[in-house]
Structures are given as C-alpha cells and as structure tokens.
A and B are shown apart, each in its own frame.
Chain A
Amino acid sequence: MEPSASAHNAGDAASPDAAPDVHHKIGQLTRQLHDALQELGLAEKLQGTAGELPDAKSRLSYIARLTGEAAEKVLNRVDQAKTQHDHIGAQTRHMIALLVADPVAAVAKGHIMNFLTDLEKANSEVDQHLTEIMMAQDFHDLTGQVIARVVNLATVIEDQLVELLIQTAPPELQSRVSPPASTAAPLSVDDVVLSGPVVDASQSTDVVTSQSQVDDLLASLGF
C-alpha cells in the first residue's frame, strides 16, 4: 500500500527526532520480552522449538523435492508410453492395409510376424512404464509421514504460544481463560521413537542411504 501524502510529510517532518525514540522503544520491548520469557521459564522451551524450525524447513524442502521428482517421473514415463502407443497405432494401420491388399504376402513376407514381435516388445515396455508410474506414487507415503511431523511441530508451537499468552494475560483476564483442550491427537510412543524418512542424509551418520547398505549391515549381523 502506498503511504498517503500527509503521512509521508508527517514522517519526514518527524523522522530526525522519532528514529532514536523508536529504536529505544524496540529495545525496551525486546528487553521486556526477554525478561518475561526468562521469568516464565519458557525461554528454554521456545528455544527448543525454534531449534526444530530449520528441520521443519528441511522437511518441507524434502516434500517439494519428492513430489517434484514424482511428477517428473510420471510425465516422462507417460511421454514414452504415448510415443510407443502412437507407433503401435501406426504399425497396426499399416498391417491392416497390407492384409487387405494381399493377405498371403503379408504373412509370407514376415510382415505379420515382425509386427507381432514388435507388439510384444512394446507391450512389455509399456508395462514397465506403468509399473514405474505406480512406484512414483510412493511419495504419498513418504511425504505423508513428513507432513505429520511438521504439523506436530506447528501444534507444539501453537500450544506454547497459547501458554505464553495465558501466563502474560492481565490479572482481570486470568480467571476467564484456561488452556484450551488440544484438538490434536495425542502423540504416540511411535511418533517419539521413530524418525520417519531421512530428509537429509548428509546431516546424519547413523542412517543408511541405500538398500545395499541395509543388506551389508544385515550381512554383518549374520542375516
């Protein structure tokens, strides 16, 4: 929004004196917030949550990457399958023309056999494309797990901010507010213990990054 001319003028007129005052007020607010958090014992708690935010950003980037790759894979496979489909269509029309013109020659010269061989090969390749398109849908499972974790983090932040709001409410409002019952599902032990998909393997040394590493680890255990 463009500032009005009058506001502009007022700001210009006030700026030499106003700037130090604004700066001072921001400093005071920052100090008050810091002291309040310390007194409430919430600083550490919020600090912990803030520490998880980069992880949440990393998880959202992971979702964007995975869904992008899945879409790319599906579109590439569809392109390839459609090209083969068009080729088979053209070949079929050609075979029909040959059969109509001279059925005996079409068989005797091997046109029909060659066509059927091509058809079987194309059928197998299209089947592979369909399998890959199906496999690309696994992003739903992987991103779903990651989204659940990000939503959980958002819920934790919301709960902490509500707690902060209640504790800092004026005395006359304190009796009228109470912590709202959380509508989110309670965290299960599984959510705490299990870590879900690895969104950035370079940040961790205790995870495997390929199936061959899984197999090697199991082999080292005698499995």
Chain B
Amino acid sequence: MANPRFLVVDDFSTMRRIVRNLLKESGFADADEAEDGVVALQKLRASNFDFVVSDINMPNMNGFQLLAEIKKDEKLKHIPVLMVTAEARKEDIVLAAQQGAAGYIVKPFTKATLEDKVIHILKKAGLA
C-alpha cells in the first residue's frame, strides 16, 4: 500500500502534532487524530484507517480499552495498533502484547524509533 492512512490517538494535542509531523516527515502524510479512545473508535468505525498510533493513559477510554475494542471488532481487528506511551512498567508492555498491540514505544522517543517501528509493522502487515 503506497499511502496508508493513520489515526493518531493521544489526549495531549502537542503529542498528536508531534506524531503527525514525524509521520509526515517519514512519508506518511495521510493522518487524522483523536483525543481519546471513544473518539478514536467513532472515527475508526466511520472511515477507513490502516494504522493506529495510540497513547495509553487517556480519559474516557484508555489505550488498553481502545485496543481491546479494536481487536474484538471484526471490521477493525486487522488494523495494527502501535502503543506510544509514558507507561514503562513491564506488566503494561506484556499486557499490550497479549492484547494484540503491534508494537510498543515508551515516551520520550526519537523520530528514528517511531519511523522504524511504523515501517516494520507496515511490512509485517503487508501494507508496505
């Protein structure tokens, strides 16, 4: 897929802008954003996305809950979800992996880390 569509989910607008800008610099300009899991799910169900980059610690619906909702939805479960979060406990990383996250990045991170993970996941999913 030449131009995958991203959904960036984070309750901090600064971080959403940073991630979107980094994706754009890495050649992935097609991205929308959501401030929490509830809005993300609405957008995912209303439109087509190929990749979700999600924070974990968010109000209303956190990243784990969003991941679970995506993975139990027949129409959405194929979408790779990359967690980008400040949660650095090992048990959180293990939980994300068990729930079906495609990758896990701990904040603060670098442009290279995000780019590497996204490309790796896209290739693994047959989207690049």
A→B interface (CB under 8 Å):
131, 134-135, 137-138, 140-142, 144-145, 188, 190, 194-198, 201, 206-211, 214, 217-218, 221, 223
- Chain B residues within an 8 Å CB radius of A221: 94, 97-98
The B21-64 residues at the A interface (CB cut-off 8 A) are 21-22, 25, 56-59, 62
Interface residue? B105 (CB, 8 A): yes
A142, A188, A190 — which one has the most chain B CB atoms within 10 A of its CB? A190
Given A196-B86, A221-B94: A211 in contact with B14 (beta carbons within 8 A): no
Q: Which residue of A lies closest to B10 (CB)?
A: A141
Q: Quick check: B110 and A194 within 8 Å, CB to CB?
A: no
Interface residue? B111 (CB, 8 A): yes
Q: Which residue of B lies closest to A201 (CB)?
A: B88
- Chain A residues within an 8 Å CB radius of B87: 194-196
Among A135, A210, A217, point to the contact of B18 (Cβ < 8 A).
A135
Interface residue? B89 (CB, 8 A): yes
Interface residue? B68 (CB, 8 A): no
Secondary structure of the B contact surface, majority rule: mixed
A131, A194, A201, A209 — which one has the most chain B CB atoms within 10 A of its CB? A194
Give the CA-CA distance A134 to B92 in the complex, in Å.
27
Q: Which residue of B lies closest to A146 (CB)?
A: B86
Interface residue? B79 (CB, 8 A): no
Q: Quick check: A138 and B88 within 8 Å, CB to CB?
A: no
Q: Quick check: A142 and B97 within 8 Å, CB to CB?
A: no
Give the CA-CA distance A59 to B110 in the complex, in Å.
23
> Total A-B pairs in contact (CB under 8 Å)?
89
13 pairs, CB–CB < 8 Å, chain A vs chain B: A131-B21, A135-B108, A138-B107, A141-B14, A141-B86, A190-B57, A206-B91, A207-B90, A211-B106, A217-B93, A218-B97, A221-B97, A223-B97
Among A131, A140, A198, point to the contact of B88 (Cβ < 8 A).
A198
Given A197-B86, A218-B93: A138 in contact with B15 (beta carbons within 8 A): yes
Nearest 9 interchain pairs by C-beta: A197-B86, A141-B12, A140-B14, A141-B15, A207-B88, A190-B62, A194-B57, A198-B88, A138-B108
- Chain A residues within an 8 Å CB radius of B94: 217, 221
Q: Which residue of B lies closest to A128 (CB)?
A: B111
- Chain A residues within an 8 Å CB radius of B12: 140-141, 144
- Chain B residues within an 8 Å CB radius of A211: 105-106, 109, 113
Q: Which residue of A lies closest to B113 (CB)?
A: A211
Give the CA-CA distance A140 to B86 in the complex, in Å.
12
